[in-house]
Amino acid sequence: MSGAYNSDDKILVAIDCIIFGFDKESLKILLIKRDFEPQKGHWSLMGGFLKKNETLDQAANRTLLSLTGVQDIYMEQLYAFSEVDRDPVERTLSVSYYALINIEDHNEKLTKKYNAQWFDIADAPSLIFDHDLMLQKAIRRLRRRTAIKPVGFDLLPEKFTMRQLQKLYEAILDKEVDKRNFINKINSLDILIKLNEKDMTSSTKGSFLYKFSQEKYDDKLKNNFYIKL
């Protein structure tokens, strides 16, 4: 069968990673400046190319690790972008992924060693090629996922206050939520563990800290549970 596909067109497959973070106040996107032409010096998502001996997921994890030093985080395949002229150099199809990172745990490594920079979503610069479209699709997907699944907890530290959780949901959904209703809804889900610890930085009385319980959530999934915020 060798050479059976010789008459077919060959195209490159790129992997582009949209990396979201949260700094306790706003949703952010991690970008780098492109260091080669075309559009050298312009802001870009992090990406690379699929190798012939790996799957798309393997390529996405390798790309993320090589460009950020980060691994074992929440990452989901988003969409395939195949406009014929999307890359001016060569016919290239791009499969995009979005990832969620807790900035508090990874910020120094990302910004110092890998020369990446965080931007508020609202203040992000224009990106190369069709990366702006990728970002907008990723934001919409993240909002849909957050409304029914606990993916947002990957953006928080292991221990967090209810106020921090509310700010996260407001940042992702881009709207204010009523504090009392939000707390009542979160408590009714019964997927958090309230700790006997307080964050004393927010007030003199302090705020109780919580942890997300994967065990509680997995148990609820047996009954077709979803968050529905």
| pLDDT value, residue 160 | 94
Residues 39, 95 within the same domain: yes
Which of 91, 120, 149 is where one domain is finished? 149
Residues 136, 174 within the same domain: no
Which of 130, 149, 168 is where one domain is finished? 149
Residues 116, 161 within the same domain: no
- Judge whether 16 lies within some domain: yes
pLDDT (mean) for 117-139:
96
- Judge whether 205 lies within some domain: yes
Residues 131, 41 within the same domain: yes
Judged against a pLDDT cut of 90, whether residue 128 lies above it is answered with: yes
Domain range enclosing 162: 156-221
Residues 143, 215 within the same domain: no
- Judge whether 186 lies within some domain: yes
Mutual orientation of helices 162-173 and 179-189 as an angle, nearest 10°?
Answer: 100
Judged against a pLDDT cut of 60, whether residue 93 lies above it is answered with: yes
- Judge whether 206 lies within some domain: yes
Residues 136, 198 within the same domain: no
Q: 201: exposed, middle or buried (C-beta count within 10 Å: 0-12, 13-18, 19+)?
A: exposed
Residues 131, 184 within the same domain: no
Handedness of CA 64, 65, 67, 69 (dihedral sign): positive
Closest CA to 155 of 44, 45, 24: 24
Residues 117, 198 within the same domain: no
What pTM did the predictor assign?
Answer: 0.91
pLDDT digits (tens, 9 = 90+) for 6-38: 888 999 999 999 999 998 889 999 999 988 899
Residues 43, 137 within the same domain: yes
What tokens appear for 163 in the block? 């106020």
Residues 145, 165 within the same domain: no
Which of 120, 149, 178 is where one domain is finished? 149
Handedness of CA 123, 125, 126, 131 (dihedral sign): negative
What is the 3 state secondary structure string of 119-151? EEHHHCCCCCCCHHHHHHHHHHHHHHHHHHCHH
Count the domains in the chain.
2
Residue 91: give its domain's CATH number: 3.90.79.10
167/157 Cα distance (integer angstroms): 13
Residues 64, 110 within the same domain: yes
| pLDDT value, residue 44 | 96
Better pLDDT: 106 or 81: 81
- Judge whether 5 lies within some domain: no
Residues 141, 206 within the same domain: no
Q: 35: exposed, middle or buried (C-beta count within 10 Å: 0-12, 13-18, 19+)?
A: exposed
